[in-house]
Amino acid sequence: MLQKYFSICILLFSLLFFSCRKETGKPSWDTHDIAPLVGTSLNINNLIPDSILKANPDSSLKIVYKNNLFKFSMDTLFKIPDTSLTNSYTIPVALTLQPGQPVVSNKPSETTYNLKGAQLRTIVIKSGSINYYIKSYVHEVTNFVYSLPCASKNGQPFTININVPAAVGNTPGVYDQTYDMSGYVLDLTGINKNKFNTINTSLTALVSPNGKPVLINPTDSLTIKNTFQDFIPYYAQGYFGQSTFNEGPSETNFSGLKNIVNGSIQLEDVKFNLSIENPVGLDARIIINNLNSINTRKGTNIGLVNSIIGAPININRAAESAGIVYPTYANFPLNSSNSNIKALLENLPDKFSFSMQMTTNPLGNIAGSNDFIYSDKLLKAILEMEIPLSFVATNLTLADTVDLNIANKNGANNLKSGTITMIADNGFPFDAALQIYMLNDNNTIADSLFTGPNTILKAPLNASYRAIGKTTTTLIIPVSESKMNALYNTKKIVFKTIYNTSNQPQYMKIYSDYGIDLKLIGDVNYTVQLK
């Protein structure tokens, strides 16, 4: 609403400044002009974001808001660290090998990750890679077959066949390559399928079948470094351990009422629900320490009073079948009877804060190491509210600061004074007072435009207190020469509107057809100078 009104003012001033300027030093006389009529229509969408504004069947409006209070990340349970494995292979005595003979014969090995109590059996890699670095002092090309028997993609195990250059003198042959592991399934149960968090590898190195016989001395070593890096799972299965995590204090923004800077409101009714959705295959116990409504404009903070605060909440594990996850839910409806939820919302918050504690698998490994988690299906707490726009408002103040740029590079010294007439046809069932402030370079108020009456009167009401038709209010804004010059040099303006319904005997509903039509007329005195 305010920005549209501001745009009209700017258009009007711009027309006046640019159309009225004459050069100085010539014969002149004073005159005045009336600017063309300009109009616009404003409705409730100018006060509340339309993304959260919904209409009821009777066209009355409500705020519908849904947001994740928190999400439980996979990293909270475990994180697969980058790991480097370095192995050196030598032949104890000098030996001449023929083409195709092995330098290293099928060397299996295992690496076990430390995952903070988690015992993983399977992961599907969302992203990550293996860097394979080989340094060979063998004076012939060597052929390496490196495999991860525990890793497969589309049913095929991860295997690479590498030709490493021959050493030249004391300079080793080097191979350095990185391989993408996205989409691979890792079996982390080890070679004998009886472990957790374990990767097993296999290596064979031959003198190239296309090479020549080569003498290998004990100093002619092979050094192999495997680096598993940036592994991020899409899916994991195993036992995720019994751990306790603290979340918060954390804050989430609520933008629905961000333009309200002062005043108070009494809501007729609210519907509020705190729900916990668990698509993770593990049991949990949650304790919500606090849930607060924060109004940073007023500096007020109101905590929720309800039996869920400080009490343990047991969350059952999700189920999984053929890749389909069936989450579990816990819902906690809050209303005026079981909580102070109205007070939280009448605080006109722009933030909600919370802190909580969660214990995973509080009864231990009761699922036989069959916990599971998907990276895109995470346990979360969801805040849902429905606020019918039926309220009593007292000095409810909305403010908006906007940049102002009406300066004419060639000057506007011929502009003297005048008036701005605003005609408002108000279809809302409450009065509205308007004020416009000019800010100085320190962003503090330097002056205001309205010095006289500035109240837009409410629409007429029927017996049900629904607005019918519109009420016309005419406001005159005198603008002196000094104030015009001040406005001319102002870079920022604050618009404030104050709403009151307290003179009505009941809660006032807001309907989708409510609105205000504004018309602006400018009558400005200026000096005309002849060429």
74: helix, strand or coil: helix
Q: How many CB atoms lie within 10 A of CB 154?
A: 7
> Which pLDDT score is estimated for 75?
83
Answer for the pair 238, 371: CB distance below 8 angstroms, yes or no: yes
Q: What's the rounded Cα separation, in Å, for the pair 393 and 499?
A: 7
Identify whether residues 93 and 198 lie together within a single domain. yes
**Is residue 234 located within the same domain as residue 103?**
yes
Same domain assignment for residues 376 and 262: yes
Q: Are residues 363 and 510 in the same domain?
A: no
Is residue 387 exposed (0-12), middle (13-18) or buried (19+ Cβ within 10 Å)? Answer: buried
Q: Are residues 258 and 285 in the same domain?
A: yes
What pLDDT is attached to residue 245? 87
Tell me, what's the pLDDT at 506? 80
Q: Are residues 232 and 212 in the same domain?
A: yes
One domain, residues 198 and 110: yes
**What does the DSSP 8-state code read for residue 309?**
B
Closest of 17, 42, 39 to residue 400, by C-alpha: 42
Question: What SS3 class is residue 21?
Answer: coil
Domain that holds residue 44: 2-60+392-529
| CA distance linking residue 396 with residue 260, whole number of Å | 7
- What would the two tokens of residue 196 be? 């957790």
Q: Which of 158, 144, 149, 293 is nearest to 208 (CA)?
A: 144
Q: Judge if 371 and 415 occupy the same domain.
A: no
Strands 38-43 and 515-529: antiparallel
Residues 89 and 218 in one domain: yes
The token duo for 10 is: 């700017």
d(CA 160, CA 521): 80
Say whether 482 sits in a helix, a strand or coil.
Answer: helix
Residues 124, 167, single domain; the answer is yes
Quote the CA–CA distance of 264 and 392 in Å, as a whole number. Answer: 8
Cβ within 8 Å of residue 105, ≥6 positions away: 204
**Residues 2/497, Cβ–Cβ less than 8 Å:** yes
pLDDT value of residue 390: 81
Report the C-alpha dihedral over residues 187, 191, 197, 202, rounded to 10 degrees: -80
Cβ–Cβ < 8 Å for 519, 413: no
d(CA 108, CA 129): 20
Per-residue confidence (pLDDT) for residue 107, from 0 to 100: 75
> Do residues 205 and 87 lie in contact, with contact meaning Cβ atoms separated by under 8 Å?
no
| Listed residues 354, 388, 422: the one ending a domain | 388
Please list the alpha-helical segments (H only) found in 41-140: 74-77
Identify the domain boundary among 172, 204, 239: 239
Q: Is 310 exposed, middle or buried (0-12, 13-18, 19+ CB in 10 A)?
A: exposed
Are 119 and 224 in a shared domain? yes
Q: What distance in Å separates the CA atoms of residue 35 and residue 157, rounded to the nearest whole number?
A: 80
The answer to whether the beta carbons of residues 306 and 338 sit under 8 Å apart is: yes
Domain boundary among 355, 370, 388: 388
Structure tokens at 198: 């374990």
pTM of the prediction?
A: 0.72
User: Same domain, yes or no, for 360 and 396?
Assistant: no
Which residues fall within 8 angstroms of residue 388, CB to CB, at 6 or more apart? Answer: 56, 60, 61, 62, 267, 268, 269, 270, 509
Rounded-to-integer distance, Cα 121 and Cα 230, Å: 19
Q: What is the CATH number of the domain that holds 69?
A: 2.60.120
CA distance 418 to 399: 26
Q: 48-57: long-range contacts at Cβ-Cβ below 8 A with a sequence spacing of 24 or more?
A: 48/256, 48/257, 49/255, 49/256, 52/256, 55/512, 56/388
The DSSP secondary structure of 89-130, one letter per residue, reads E--SS-EEE-TT-EEEEEEEEEEE---TT-EEEEEEEEEEEE
Domain count within the chain: 3
pLDDT in tens, the chain (531 residues): 434 443 334 333 333 333 333 444 444 445 455 443 345 566 677 667 778 888 888 888 888 888 888 888 888 888 888 888 888 888 788 889 899 888 888 778 888 888 878 899 999 999 999 999 999 999 999 998 888 899 999 989 999 999 999 999 889 999 999 999 999 999 999 888 899 989 888 888 899 999 899 988 888 888 888 888 899 999 999 999 999 988 888 888 887 666 666 777 788 888 889 899 999 999 999 999 999 999 988 889 999 999 999 999 999 999 999 889 999 999 999 988 899 999 998 888 888 999 999 999 999 999 999 999 999 999 998 989 888 888 887 887 766 676 766 544 344 445 566 777 778 888 888 888 877 788 888 888 888 777 766 888 889 988 888 989 999 998 887 877 777 777 667 778 776 777 777 676 688 888 888 887 777 676 655 554 444
Distance CA 165, CA 203 (A): 17
Q: Report d(CA 263, CA 513) in Å as an integer.
A: 25
